Amino acid sequence: MSAEAPHVKGGLGQSILRKEDARFIRGKGNYVDDIKLPGMLYLDITRSPYAHAKITAIRTEKALKVPGVLAVITGKDLAAANLAWMPTLMSDKQMVLPTDTVMYQAQEVAAVVADSRYAAADGAAAVEVDYEPLPVVTNPFKALEPGAPVIRTDRKEQSNHIWHWETGDKAGTEEAFRSAEVVVGQDLYIPRIHVSSMETCGCIAHMDSVSGRFTIYMTTQAPHAIRTVYALVTGLPEQNIRVVSPDIGGGFGGKVPVYPGYVLASVASIKTGHPVKWVEDRSENLQADSFARDYHIHAEVAARKDGTVTALKVKTLADHGYTDAAANPSKFPAGLFHIITGSYPFAKAFVEVDAAYTNKPPGGIAYRCSFRVTEAVYTIERMMDILAHRLKVDPAELRLKNFIPPDAFPYKSALGWTYDSGNYAGALKKAMEIIDYAGLRREQAEKRRRGELMGIGISSFTEIVGAGPSHTFDILGLKMFDSAEVRIHPTGKVIARFGTKSQGQGHETTYAQILAEELGIPADDIRVEEGDTDTAPYGLGTYASRSTPTAGAAASMAARKIREKAKKIAAHLLEVSPDDIEWKDYAFRVKGVPTKSKTMQDVAFAAYTNHPQGTEAGLEAVDYYDPPNMTYPFGSYICVVDIDKETGQVKVRRFVAVDDCGTIINPMIVDGQIHGGLTMGFAPALLEEIQYDENGNIHGGSFMEYLVPTAVETPHWETAKTVTPSPHHPIGAKGVGESATVGAPPAIANAVVDALQPYGVEHIDIPIHPWKVWQIIHAGAPKTG
């Protein structure tokens, strides 16, 4: 920006430093486990070693004799208060503690309350439980076979089938496939993975028996929704419930659900009258908290010989563990999986998903993606490469031939979404130019002649974020709007509160920048607060890249309401009619006499000291923003890999990410989101997975087995942007928290499969371990032609 260009310090497009980092980098954050209340007790949990077993006895005597142990809570205690089961966000139900049967390894069996963390751990180890093992089902296909052991015997339907969901034009799609010139099909498995945020889950529950106030400090991404659920489930008056979400060390969807530990700490506090802290350890977090993915997908694409895609058909089996504890909008049990037509104008599409119970932990959460979008993008982007391979055309060429063109927006997809804006070819061409795609293909051809393995993979994803319009989106009936409350104080300083909750995304900075731009007040003078239900306006929280599309929009709208009132005060101060005032270059100016002006700070002072008679004093506004549509960020990623033929090791040599998230608020924060997201997309492509053996024993239940990438493995990310604003968002922003997690896995998988083309390979399931690559290379000499 030139020196003369009018701007406000910390306004849109400026890479200002994050306000929250002053405390984070000094180790002065305030996380749940940092909070200590007077008289606080500690809770630990005894967990099941079996994946499926009858509980024949629980003996608590030894645990109660451990010095410092005050109480042991079992399922029977909870059943007496009708709290042994709780509802999930998907209207299924989940055990807080079992009364008779455990259904996955590491399930909560008893809770021990003690006066120290150490005594609680010793107490939990001293609880004696007798189990009678039951037959275990860990494979969802086997779970649906006749005669499979029924896991949820509490349900009327004596079956492991949970639900069937479908959307699209079934008959039309079948017809398109019948007349197709080319059909490609592929089974794809996206394994169970875990968000493994740096901070595990936990809470401090405090029932004050004198005041009747119940306060819970909680690692939650959605404090307001939690408060309402607590009110509805427990019958406590909502005004007496206070949910505080302090600093949160990463959520990624894993901190949306209500876990049994939260309920147990609450019950323990009610029972003892003391504050009770429960913070899970890393193994508990990996083994018992909600997983993500675990989709078994079969996809088919119909196309013409020239590569034009015509129809898409997808059949999926979702493994939900023992209960459907996903966190999807109510109408969509498979989330927004039907964004699966991606960046391409399929005329016909049909998607069906069935869900099954297995003896695994519950979940199906949206791990840094807007409800199953990762699964959708992986599928369509892998299928486009398979089609390119089958037709022997370059995968970039196939994409460029098929993309929905920029002038087709708003574009209505075959599965019912209305894409707001896009320029898909623009992003891909930019990525190809940065990485020198033509040069890489030449290098690859030369290397293939020498027998070396190098691959290039593309992913041109379309995201769907910002849930969402209230006509379509709710969770347990709560509409998915969000809110901002902005108050300008006499000296022109601002406190703004939001219904969302940052878990590291930098809301304190980006919301301040939106407000700075709208109000002409420097971002440094704007304080952003979230996460305390006593003070923040109601909102549905932060996940699904929804904060900027909803609460960010609410910030703009609230600021514009303030400007309307401020204009009248400015007119009063300038002694002209409000009609003669315009807001221009961050000040109220007399039309035609721009030097006659008042700043928002001038107006703010007047709002408390010299407001015009007949108007209210003060300067504040609240906005509840119900977005008219979702936003559709997109991008194109290109990955280059080299493969060690002897060991099967894959090395990502280059990775170029061109993202388009509409208007950019803070380029540095956007880049940070992309860097983190790419790393979280790289992880499941090459490293992370949670497996279970046939007895339901978890493999991947600690950081010794669950391999989160370190700085050593993580590639150097090259980022670039195109900007295609959202036409319906007040500042044109789309949300960017999840694009990279969603877009990266297929780029890497496509690159590896591309490298292995000499072996005739069309697909390898992620994570692509070295041994999988070695088996392909080892299985046979390169195929020719």
Annotated catalytic residues are: 221, 368-369, 738
All residues at 6 or more sequence positions from 23 whose CB lies less than 8 Å from its CB, including other chains: 29, 30, 247
Nearer Cβ to another protein (436/713): 713
At its nearest, how many Å lie between another protein and the CB of residue 28? 23
Tokens for 774, please give them.
């070695």
- Asked whether position 779 contacts another protein by CB under 8 A, the answer is no
- Asked whether position 117 contacts another protein by CB under 8 A, the answer is yes
**Which listed residue (240, 649, 697, 757) binds another protein by CB under 8 A?**
649
Binders in 276-295 for another protein, by CB under 8 A: 281-283
Which of these segments, 86-94, 310-318, 577-585, 769-777, binds another protein (CB under 8 A)? 769-777
At its nearest, how many Å lie between another protein and the CB of residue 265? 17
- Asked whether position 191 contacts another protein by CB under 8 A, the answer is no
Quote the crossing angle between the two packed helices 600-609 and 553-574, to the nearest 10°: 70
- Asked whether position 765 contacts another protein by CB under 8 A, the answer is no
How far is Cα 478 from Cα 539, in angstroms, rounded to an integer? 9
Nearer Cβ to another protein (289/671): 289
**Which listed residue (15, 174, 775, 782) binds another protein by CB under 8 A?**
775
At its nearest, how many Å lie between another protein and the CB of residue 701? 10
Which of these segments, 147-155, 625-633, 646-654, 724-732, binds another protein (CB under 8 A)? 646-654
User: Burial level of 373, CB count in 10 A (0-12/13-18/19+)?
Assistant: buried
* Count of CB atoms situated within 10 Å of the CB of 549: 27
- Asked whether position 691 contacts another protein by CB under 8 A, the answer is yes
- Asked whether position 710 contacts another protein by CB under 8 A, the answer is yes
The DSSP element (H or E) to which 777 belongs, if any, is helix 770-779
Is the distance from CB of 255 to CB of 503 less than 8 angstroms?
yes
b/e map 492-515, b = 16+ CB within 10 Å: bbbebbbbbbbbbbbbbbbbbbbb
Which of these segments, 161-169, 252-260, 454-462, 700-708, binds another protein (CB under 8 A)? 700-708
At its nearest, how many Å lie between another protein and the CB of residue 689? 9
Nearer Cβ to another protein (91/775): 775
Nearer Cβ to another protein (388/777): 777
Q: How many helices (H) and strands (E) does the chain have?
A: 19, 35
Nearest to residue 275, comparing CAs of 224, 200, 209, 222? 209
How far is Cα 407 from Cα 426, in angstroms, rounded to an integer? 12
**Which listed residue (5, 80, 171, 704) binds another protein by CB under 8 A?**
704
Which of these segments, 318-326, 383-391, 551-559, 773-781, binds another protein (CB under 8 A)? 773-781
**Which listed residue (33, 100, 115, 122) binds another protein by CB under 8 A?**
122
At its nearest, how many Å lie between another protein and the CB of residue 495? 40
Is the distance from CB of 340 to CB of 415 less than 8 angstroms?
yes
- Asked whether position 125 contacts another protein by CB under 8 A, the answer is yes
How far is Cα 148 from Cα 146, in angstroms, rounded to an integer? 6
- Asked whether position 198 contacts another protein by CB under 8 A, the answer is no
**Which listed residue (713, 718, 762, 765) binds another protein by CB under 8 A?**
713
Structure-derived torsion over alpha carbons of residues 393, 394, 398, 403, reported in degrees to the nearest 10? -170
- Asked whether position 30 contacts another protein by CB under 8 A, the answer is no
Tokens for 117, please give them.
């963390």
At its nearest, how many Å lie between another protein and the CB of residue 122? 6
**Which listed residue (15, 470, 491, 647) binds another protein by CB under 8 A?**
647
- Asked whether position 114 contacts another protein by CB under 8 A, the answer is no
- Asked whether position 580 contacts another protein by CB under 8 A, the answer is no
- Asked whether position 65 contacts another protein by CB under 8 A, the answer is no
How far is Cα 467 from Cα 548, in angstroms, rounded to an integer? 11
Phi-psi label, residue 749: left if phi above 0, alpha if psi -120 to 50, beta otherwise: alpha
How far is Cα 457 from Cα 385, in angstroms, rounded to an integer? 9
How far is Cα 255 from Cα 247, in angstroms, rounded to an integer? 13
The radius of gyration computed from the CA coordinates of the chain, to the nearest angstrom, equals 28
Please measure the distance between the N-terminal and C-terminal CA atoms of the chain and give it in whole angstroms. Answer: 54
- Asked whether position 128 contacts another protein by CB under 8 A, the answer is no
- Asked whether position 769 contacts another protein by CB under 8 A, the answer is yes
Q: Which residue has the tokens 């899970």?
A: 280
Is the distance from CB of 167 to CB of 314 less than 8 angstroms?
no
Quote the crossing angle between the two packed helices 507-519 and 553-574, to the nearest 10°: 30
At its nearest, how many Å lie between another protein and the CB of residue 178? 42
Is the distance from CB of 375 to CB of 301 less than 8 angstroms?
no
Q: What are phi and psi of 169, to 5 degrees?
A: -100, 95
- Asked whether position 695 contacts another protein by CB under 8 A, the answer is no
**Which listed residue (12, 84, 404, 687) binds another protein by CB under 8 A?**
687
- Asked whether position 15 contacts another protein by CB under 8 A, the answer is no
Whether the bond between 614 and the residue before it is cis, its omega within 30 degrees of 0, is: no
Which of these segments, 30-38, 142-150, 275-283, 534-542, binds another protein (CB under 8 A)? 275-283
Bridge partners (DSSP) listed for residue 650: 643
Nearer Cβ to another protein (491/647): 647
**Which listed residue (709, 718, 759, 763) binds another protein by CB under 8 A?**
709
Residues of this chain that bind another protein (CB under 8 A): 117-118, 121-122, 125, 281-283, 646-649, 687, 691, 699-700, 702, 704-705, 707, 709-710, 712-713, 769-771, 774-775, 778
